[in-house]
Amino acid sequence: MIKRMMAGLTALTLVVAGCGSGDNDSGGGKNKASAPGITATTVTIGSHQPLTGPAAPGYSEIAPSSKAYFDYLNANGGVNGRKIVYKYADDVYNPTTTVDVVHRLVLQDKVFAIFNGLGTPTHTKVVDYLNAQRVPDLFVASGCGCWDQPAKHPYTFGWQTDYVREGKILGQYIKQNFAGKKIAYFYQNDDFGQDGVKGLDMYIPKDQVVKRESYQPTNTDISPQAQAIAAAKADVVVLFTIPAFTALFRLASLKLNFKPQLAVSNVGSDPTTLSGLLENFAKQGGTKIQGNPLIQGIITDAYGAPAGDTSNSWVQLFKKIHDTYVPKLPFDGNVVYGMAVAYTFAQALKAAGTNPTRRGLVDAVEKGGLTGPGLVPFAFSKGSHAGYAGAQIGKISGNTITLSGTPLTTDDGAGAIQPYTTAQPPAPANGVPAG
């Protein structure tokens, strides 16, 4: 239905492209309607999210959690006197639907910015459009290095650690701890998985990699890939997978009595999500299992405090918001992610001034200086639109991820991996970014 409704609107795209930028000066003084989506009292932003479909398990929690943080923020004065109105729509993790959703948000809802659009295969279909419209495209929910192209896509920014950096950090750990062992890769066959593999290959010796298998998120039968990896007798399997395919691979391995050490990208390793998926998938196949024991010891990484770290001030803040605004959601890594990225958006919006413009919001992020829930710094500058610059290794233990060692930073090229020793800043007492 959305597609039919948008057929006529899409033809208007080129007509409005020149008049939708809203790049007026953001002067001080009384609040005014300074750009599309901005009124004296509100800022309207939008997003495409997989509320249903193959990426929905776990990820469908992210947008409601971001909205919960914005609702909390609005109850505490908003940003520069404005409340944030957050509109998000289901794209089913389908790129065609993503295009329809984003066009509607820009042309019909006239959002000020697109915030945290989720997915590599989905968002790549709208990134050119958003930049042509000069709509801020902030903090894409994907670690694809493709968001870090300031010359080509000046309005787009990543947020989470990109997959090349993450692959390098996981690859170094595997090289150091599994020397001489047989390694296999299982990854999503797009920029998500391919970027991860690129990073892994910078550190894991090629003669140790005995099998490389990929999957398409539209095909849940991954038994051939699992059988090929098992036949190669891999000791360690590194997965760059969304949660559903992490669980599918674990179940396929179980059926084959194949018990390798798993190392899983951050985006596919939330313990609560994986446990639930394993139990649900097994139930659909007529088997009853306990999911949590099957994920113990999985190697992963994090760029923020895990949801189970109850001593962390950011986790405490987000738990308080969760309990008030979205208590029916499990308090897991997806909820923490949604609130953390919303905090960063609020911080950037505040830095953009009393009467922000679209270009002014971009300038505020490029200026750098954004801090918050991360264990590592952001890479934001005029020359870099990448998000967090590294991660810390951890393992699933119980219902959480237990971190070890120190946070590490690196680049998305041949640069070295370095320890990062600056302490994570504490959460503000009121949970609102300082001015």
Residue 214 three-state SS: strand
CA distances from 394 to 263, 297, 346 (A): 10, 9, 29
Bridge partners of residue 184, in order along the sequence = 211, 237
pLDDT for 417 equals 98
- Dist. CA 400–CA 43, nearest whole Å: 35
Mean pLDDT of the chain: 93
Residue 78 three-state SS: coil
- The whole-number average pLDDT for the span 1-6 is 36
pLDDT for 15 equals 30
Q: Which of 126-130, 192-196, 253-257, 286-290 has the lowest mean pLDDT?
A: 286-290
CA distances from 52 to 164, 188, 308, 424 (A): 28, 19, 26, 34
Asked whether residue 12 carries a pLDDT value surpassing 60, the answer given is: no
Q: What is the pTM of this model?
A: 0.90
Structure tokens at 56: 């929905």
Residue 229, φ and ψ in degrees, nearest 5? -70, -40
Token look-up 């729509």 returns 89
CA 433: distance to chain centroid?
Answer: 21
* % residues pLDDT > 90 (the chain): 91
**pLDDT level of residue 258 (50, 70, 90 thresholds):** very high
Asked whether residue 433 carries a pLDDT value surpassing 80, the answer given is: yes
**pLDDT level of residue 30 (50, 70, 90 thresholds):** confident
List, for residues 167-225, the tens digit of each pLDDT value: 999 999 999 999 999 999 999 999 999 999 999 999 999 999 999 999 999 999 999 99
**pLDDT level of residue 32 (50, 70, 90 thresholds):** confident
- Dist. CA 347–CA 432, nearest whole Å: 8
Is the four-CA dihedral 373, 377, 380, 386 of positive or negative sign?
A: negative
Asked whether residue 432 carries a pLDDT value surpassing 60, the answer given is: yes
pLDDT for 29 equals 55
Q: CB burial class (10 A; 0-12, 13-18, 19+) of residue 408?
A: buried
Asked whether residue 1 carries a pLDDT value surpassing 80, the answer given is: no
Asked whether residue 31 carries a pLDDT value surpassing 90, the answer given is: no
- The whole-number average pLDDT for the span 261-273 is 97
- Dist. CA 123–CA 147, nearest whole Å: 10
CA 281: distance to chain centroid?
Answer: 24
Asked whether residue 24 carries a pLDDT value surpassing 50, the answer given is: no
CA distances from 280 to 104, 196, 226, 250 (A): 34, 28, 20, 13
Asked whether residue 27 carries a pLDDT value surpassing 50, the answer given is: no
Token look-up 């890769």 returns 185
Full set of structural domains in the chain with CATH: 2-161+309-389 (3.40.50.2300), 163-302 (3.40.50.2300)
Asked whether residue 7 carries a pLDDT value surpassing 90, the answer given is: no
* % residues pLDDT > 70 (the chain): 93
List, for residues 316-347, the tens digit of each pLDDT value: 999 999 999 999 999 999 999 999 999 999 99
**pLDDT level of residue 33 (50, 70, 90 thresholds):** confident
Q: What is the dihedral of CA 87, 314, 243, 411, to 10 degrees?
A: 100
- Give kind and range of the element (H or E) at residue 212: strand 209-215
Q: Are 136 and 41 in contact (CB under 8 A)?
A: no
pLDDT for 3 equals 36
pLDDT for 283 equals 93
**pLDDT level of residue 229 (50, 70, 90 thresholds):** very high
CA distances from 335 to 146, 148, 190, 318, 345 (A): 25, 25, 25, 8, 16
